[in-house]
Structure 1
Amino acid sequence: MRGIGVEDSGGVTSRHCSKVTIVTFDCILNMAALFKEKPEHIWNTISEDFPLNPSLRDRAVPLAGSKVPGYSPIYRNVYSQKELKSVPYPGITTLYDTFELCAANNGDKPAFGHRVQKEDGKFGEYVWQDYNTVQKRRNNLGSGLFFVLENNPYKTDSEAHKKLKYDPLSDESFVLTMFSHNRPEWALADLMSAAYSITNTALYDTLGPDTSKYILNLTECPVVLCSKDKVKVLVELKEKNPEALSNLICIVSMDDLTTDDAPLKNYCHDHNISLFDYKQVEKLGEINPLDPIPPKPETTFTITFTSGTTGANPKGVLLTHENAVAGVTFSLSAIPLPKLYPTFYSFLPLAHIYERLNLHFATALGAAIGYPQGRSPLTLLEDVQVLQPDILSLVPRVLTKLEAGIKAQTINNDENPILKSLFTKAINAKMELITNPANENTNPSHLLYDRVLGLLRKKMGMGKLVGFVTGAAPISPETVKFLKASLNCGLGQGYGMSETFSGIMASSIHETEASSCGPVCITTEVKTRDLPEMGYTSKDEGGPRGELLVRGPQIFREYYKNPEETAKSFDEEGWFHTGDVARIDARTGRTWIIDRVKNFFKLAQGEYVTPERIENTYLSCFPYLAQMFVHGDSLRTHLVGVVGVDPVSITSYIKGRHNETINDPADLVRFFGDPQRKRQLLIDMNASLGDKLQGFEKLHNIEVDIEPLSLEKNLITPTMKIKRPVCTKYFKQTLDKLYEEGSLIKGDKL
């Protein structure tokens, strides 16, 4: 591979080496300009180099001499031992570069697709814009945006508004905001921001008005590009907070405005906001064209606000083009896809970094990206059946629902015993093949049962599917294995966060163990910090355990306007402290995320408990659960919890354990309201754990619900992390009741 990265002399790379890095980039840029390599040559070289053979990148090893007291050695991917990679090809250093290269080689190929609603209300086939069209619209949108901002009647002499002028020589940018469900116009705005060196950020529905106001105020945002249904919401927010949002003077609707929207326009003008739609702005840009302002690697691309787990205001993660291109390089190296024009489905929210990386990975790859019908996630399978994607990036919550649905149609299909028997044999046979260590990094075929499983794939619209990629939260290895076996495809899980521009690790989609996050990727190096108070050290049997520390070109620079949090997050050698507890396998260097640093408390008998590890263990071992919140108290000797059962799979448990059939999910809560049934459920939950938890780590009482933890209740983040302080307050009466009831299993052997 011809990418380059931050190079060191002895395995220790520092954030303070940035001057050396920039000089290296400048040299490469000058060389690329000097030789004027043809886009076809660069494209072909990248296509030949990526993705990496899994057997060449599926391990990480410690750097010699890098172990210091209190820490593990520094681990790097076997493929990037001498240097960390940061770009896919010398000179391709920004998202503007990656898109321009793609458009030059794939101009007439499909880029963005959406389904058009027919007169009967149903949605038809996907309609596509090619890369040439997207490139032209991108430039028109950027040119038109500068025109409407520079000529805005509500512009003031504020510091934020002084940045609205088109100036190719300036390194300062205003902050543009996107606010919409996934759609081609959202992606177009992101590409436009990259091309014109505009910093952007995003809002999303579950933030709520207070947090949205906080972000718009902090960024001094002058313009929002949004779906039409968000226009009134934004104006109402400014009406209630005129001083905090005084810089907001322009809204551009992604949907067409009509004469019926005259009252909405007037409402905007009443609050010093100009309202346009995309068509108007693009037309103005076509009439008044402006060349793109190519960014530099250090140019700030986006500020992504982390929702956080404490309930406090989110932190803005400042990410540069260097970070973004390193993320694209990681994806190119790790995700196996067809060489020619793969198809993506953009399902996860574009406001979050996981899907942002997917977008720029896809547009660097020349892929076709299909978008959902609208904001509802319920159209996933219907869209997939029409789109036939090659790759699906999902989160565990969606995959567990998919697992339950497939099981209901196959191995748990009591209404069709012949079908049940056939699929049970096929899936079991495939499971045996994919979990055999001799088949590592391969998808072994079965002469008979691959045909049976092919029928299921075709029915679900997954006939072309290479595999799934999942992240953002833990997933049960059993779910991974079942989906891989039943759909005869791959499934890899990764690890990353906003601060790392999404993934920095990814397991092989055909990893036989199906439980790790894979080794650290080629752009990043990692080590662990000892946490003796939690029982995690670098000398633990099987490999080091401790807080995961990361460093490299994919890691963010700072928190936006928050030097205190920035200083707390980095040490003097430039290591970012993730707050996640990891285990690194001594043999393979693969990583498991097993806990959170701050998530532990002491019970009355003096034992330390880490709730996240306990929750993950229950969810992994007892597949009928979808959610869990574990709580302990220093004045109590046992744990209690709130559990969310999966409404589909739990019915088979009830049938097997109680010989009863429940069809209405609403009846499930009443069913487990019976103390004896709840006690039996808890006994079975604890029995499923085997010896994976100690007695004091097991639950003694539970409250059962369908979806107790939700975004709407502000109990979890959009990436499904539990907001523990908020949950403790929200469930206070429930937790008090559980403790008052006492242990349901006292006396039972735990």
Structure 2
Amino acid sequence: MQPPSPLREAKYTWEMRVHAAARSWRHLAGNAENTIVHPSRCPSTAGTALMPGVIGDTSLLKPTAMIAVPLLLNRIRKAIEQELSKKSPILQEVFAFAQTYKSYWKKKGFTTPILNRIIFRGSKQILGGHLRALVSGSAPLSSETQEFLSNCLDCPVLQGYGLTETTAGATLQDLYDLTVGVVGPPLNGVQIKLVDWEEGGYHVADRPYPRGEVVVGGPTVAAGYYLKPELTAENFKDDGQTRWFYTGDIGEFLPKGLLRIIDRKKDLVKLQNGEYVSLGKIEMVLKTHPLVDNACVCGSSLCTFVVALIQPNEATLKRTAKSLSIAENESLPQLCENPILHNAVTNELTNHCTKSNLVKYEVPLKYKLCKEVWTPETELVTAALKIRRTQIQKLYHEDIQAMYRGVSNAASATDLLSSRRDNSVTFPFEKSGNEAADPKAGAK
């Protein structure tokens, strides 16, 4: 007979229930997985079929509030842009101007009901048409995507910040805050401070805004990691009054107490030339392009440049192949290995990174189009669709080494990067709303 479980004999205090719940979820996950893959049909899954003509759950449920991860929001933006690319050039210019015009008047405190009814009515229906607030979390959302979706969906798109160790939410943007690229002020009961990170060159005395590692304190901070005392001692500190968790994220405080996440310690790589590169920042830029579903950027202290692993969007990749007179019916692995298509995609992504204001050493020099699909089942991304960098780099180790061997020194890297800017091809993508004319100039 097995000895009784310690959890069964424990007193049911609030803290013990939290630990038990955390353990139970992991235990139940295995059972749930076994049930899902069982050949029998569960009653709960039998009723999930949609009525004919219904596009998806959101169009049927018409939610008024919604939480989503940035990867899904990027896909929504790309879907809107791809539909728009099928329209005439005049309509594309009108849409781009409407984006800029609406952003201009929103910042002045005005609404644009006529534009919402005429231009953005179709895009608003993507998520049911009744949305009043859309919250993004789990990873940074680019400012361009946040502004774009806020205009198209005609609702505030807010960013929040938090971790499992801080019981999820630590900050959240105000409903009427029009600032993009920030995660808002601390929530009630949460304390946040910045501490110097000497190695990365971030200090609370920096100007114009204080910068440093984000440290979260308060009653929402966890007691520690289960049966991991060394890891707990490394990340949790108690000053006698407040328990603090060192997040590993780098942030800066803006006026009005708004927090902006600018880096992550684990994502910073020091190149051979001494420059620090934020891998997460580059990945966020790449994922805004219609060709990219997901990306993993790799850097090395032995080289002066970074390389990128790309999970391409299959539909967009096939349209691009068609525009280059490549057989559209080729499979995804065949398209990923096609040298003409690969060269064209490389040039396009290089130009996209440059236009997104990445400096020269941040622009990936080599790209690998991955034929594998990155899913939680393949353990290449988490359930929240965040990349598992270590697993991805292990799987594509040979490809990464081959990309680095292709460029021998800094001089050839610079020459290669410069040559790509003059060899771009025309892609069937819509112009960015940021390239539209100034609304004040149009009014004249």
1:391 and 2:65 correspond = yes
Aligned partners of 1:525, 1:601: CA distance in 2, in Å? 29
Matched residue of 1:550: which SS?
strand
After superposition, what is the alpha-carbon deviation per residue over 1:312-348, rounded to whole angstroms, capped at 9, x for unaligned?
A: xxxxxxxxxxxxxxxxxxxxxxxxxxxxxxxxxxxxx
**1:431 corresponds to which letter in structure 2?**
S
Distance 1:540 1:502 in 2: 29
Match of 1:681 in 2: 348
Cα pair distance change 1:483/1:510, threshold 3 Å: farther
Specify the alignment match of 2:272 in structure 1: 604
| Whole-angstrom CA distance in 2 between matches of 1:544 and 1:174 | 35
Other structure's SS at 1:533 match: coil
Structure 1: unaligned runs, 5 residues or longer: 1-155, 176-192, 204-214, 234-252, 257-277, 279-370
Name 1:633's counterpart in structure 2: 300
The answer to whether the aligner puts 1:643 opposite 2:310 as a matched pair is yes
Provide the rounded CA distance (Å) in 1 between the counterparts of 2:102 and 2:394: 46
Provide the rounded CA distance (Å) in 2 between the counterparts of 1:680 and 1:227: 42
Q: Which of 410, 413, 424 pairs up with 2:86?
A: 413
Amino acid of the residue matched to residue 252 of structure 2?
R
The residue type equivalent to 2:199 in the other structure is E
Query: 1:535-568 CA distances to partner (integer Å, 9 max, x unpaired)?
Result: 2111122212221101012221222233222222
Determine the C-alpha separation between the residues in 1 that align with 2:13 and 2:41: 26
Can you give the 5+ residue segments of structure 2 that lack an aligned partner in the other structure? 422-444
What's the TM-score, normalizing by structure 2? 0.77
Of 484, 487, 496, which aligns to 2:153? 487
Secondary structure of the 1:558 match is coil
Within 5 Å, which residues of 2 pair with 1:47-86?
Answer: none
Indicate how the Cα distance of structure 1 residues 684 and 383 shifts in structure 2: closer, same or farther if over 3 A, else same: same
Q: Which residue of 2 aligns with 1:582?
A: 251
Q: Counterpart of 2:58 in structure 1: which amino acid? A: V
Q: Report the Cα offset of residue 697 of structure 1.
A: 2.9
Would the alpha carbon gap of residues 228 and 562 (structure 1) be closer, same or farther in structure 2, given more than 3 Å must change? closer
The one of 85, 88, 105 equivalent to 1:433 is 105
- 1:254 is displaced (CA, Å) by 12
| Residue number in structure 1 paired with 2:35 | 229
In the TM superposition, 1:344-359 aligns within 5 A as none
Q: Which amino acid aligns with 1:491?
A: V
Say if 1:649 and 1:504 are closer, same or farther in 2 by CA, change over 3 A.
farther
In structure 2, the residue matched to 1:714 is: 379
The answer on 1:505 being equivalent to 2:171 is yes
CA gap of 1:372–1:617, structure 2 versus 1, over 3 A, is: farther
Q: Distance in 2 between matches of 1:502 and 1:380?
A: 33
In 2, the alpha carbon distance for the partners of 1:739 and 1:524 equals: 44
Q: How much does 1:526 deviate?
A: 0.7
Deviation sequence 1:146-198 (CA, Å, 0-9, x none): xxxxxxxxxx562218828xx9xx436999xxxxxxxxxxxxxxxxx89xx97
Alignment partner, residue 452 of structure 1: 118
Render the CA deviation track for 1:418-448: whole Å, top value 9, x for unaligned: 86566455444323333x2x33xxxx42242
Amino acid at match of 1:681: E
In the TM superposition, residue 201 of structure 1 has moved relative to its aligned partner by 4.5
Query: For the residues of structure 1 that align with 2:46 and 2:225, how far apart are their CA atoms?
Result: 32
Identify the residue that residue 90 of structure 1 maps to in structure 2. none
Between 1:425-434 and 1:658-667, the stretch displaced more is 658-667
Which one-letter code corresponds to 1:721 in the other structure? K
CA contact (8 A) 1:372 1:380 kept: no
Query: Aligned in 2, Cα 1:255/1:638: closer, same or farther, shift over 3 Å?
Result: closer
Instruction: Assess if the C-alpha contact under 8 Å between 2:263 and 2:278 holds in 1.
Output: yes
The CA deviation at 1:703 is 0.9
For normalisation by structure 1, the TM-score amounts to 0.48
Q: C-alpha displacement at 1:649, in angstroms?
A: 5.7
Q: Hey, what's the Cα distance between the residues in 2 that align with 1:161 and 1:551? A: 30
* Counterparts of residues 216-615 of structure 1 (less than 5 Å): 216=27, 226=32, 229-230=35-36, 382-409=56-83, 411-414=84-87, 423-434=95-106, 436=107, 438-439=108-109, 444-453=110-119, 455-456=121-122, 459-460=125-126, 462-573=128-239, 574-585=243-254, 587-615=255-283
**C-alpha deviation, 1:493, in angstroms:** 0.9
Q: Distance in 1 between matches of 2:46 and 2:208?
A: 44
Q: What secondary structure is seen at the aligned counterpart in 2 of 1:403?
A: helix
Count of paired positions: 409
- Preserved contact between residue 640 and residue 699 of structure 1 (Cα < 8 Å): yes
SS of equivalent to 1:460: helix
Contact 2:170–2:190 (CA<8 Å) still a contact in 1? yes
Cα 1:515–1:601 change in 2 (3 A) is closer
Q: What is the match of residue 364 of structure 2?
A: 699
Report the RMSD for the aligned CA atoms in angstroms: 4.1
Distance 1:395 1:380 in 2: 23
Please tell me the residue identity of whatever aligns with 2:407.
G
Residues in 1 aligned to 2:7 and 2:64: alpha-carbon distance in whole angstroms:
45
Aligned mates of 1:631, 1:522 — CA distance in 2: 38
Identity, % of aligned positions: 24
State the alpha-carbon separation in 1 of the partners of residues 134 and 145 from structure 2.
12
Alignment CA distance shift 1:540-1:641 (3 Å): same
AA aligned opposite 1:565: L
Q: Are 1:604 and 1:633, in contact at CA under 8 Å, matched by a contact in 2?
A: yes
Q: Separation in 2 of the partners of 1:717 and 1:162?
A: 28
Q: Is contact 1:386–1:461 with CA below 8 Å preserved after alignment?
A: no
One-letter amino acid of the structure 1 residue matched with residue 352 of structure 2: M
Distance 1:617 1:545, change over 3 A: farther
- What is the aligned partner in structure 1 of residue 8 from structure 2? 163
CA contact (8 A) 1:528 1:582 kept: yes
For residue 660 of structure 1, report the CA deviation from its aligned partner. 8.2
Residues 177-222 of structure 1 deviation map (CA, whole Å, 9 limit, x = unaligned): xxxxxxxxxxxxxxxx89xx9746555xxxxxxxxxxx54xxxx9x
For residues 661 and 489 of structure 1, do their structure 2 counterparts lie closer, same or farther at Cα, with a shift above 3 Å needed? farther
For 2:5, the aligned partner's letter is A
Matched letter for residue 229 of structure 1? T
Which amino acid in the other structure matches residue 405 of structure 1?
A
- Name the residue aligned to 1:61: none
Distance 2:127 2:356 in 1: 35
Tell which structure's C-alpha radius of gyration is larger: 1
Amino acid at match of 1:611: L
Give the Cα–Cα distance (whole angstroms) in 1 for the partners of residues 171 and 232 of structure 2: 23
Tell me: CA distance 1:508–1:649, structure 2 relative to 1, closer, same or farther (3 Å): farther
Once residues 386 and 612 of structure 1 are traced to their aligned partners in structure 2, the CA distance between those partners, rounded to angstroms, is 35
Q: Matches of 2:320 and 2:58 in 1, distance apart?
A: 30
Tell me, yes or no, if structure 1 residue 733 matches structure 2 residue 394.
Answer: no
> Partner of 2:237: helix, strand, or coil?
coil
Q: What is the SS of the residue equivalent to 1:582? A: strand
**Contact 2:350/2:363 (<8 A) preserved:** no
Q: Distance in 2 between matches of 1:715 and 1:572?
A: 35
Q: 1:391 Cα shift? A: 0.7
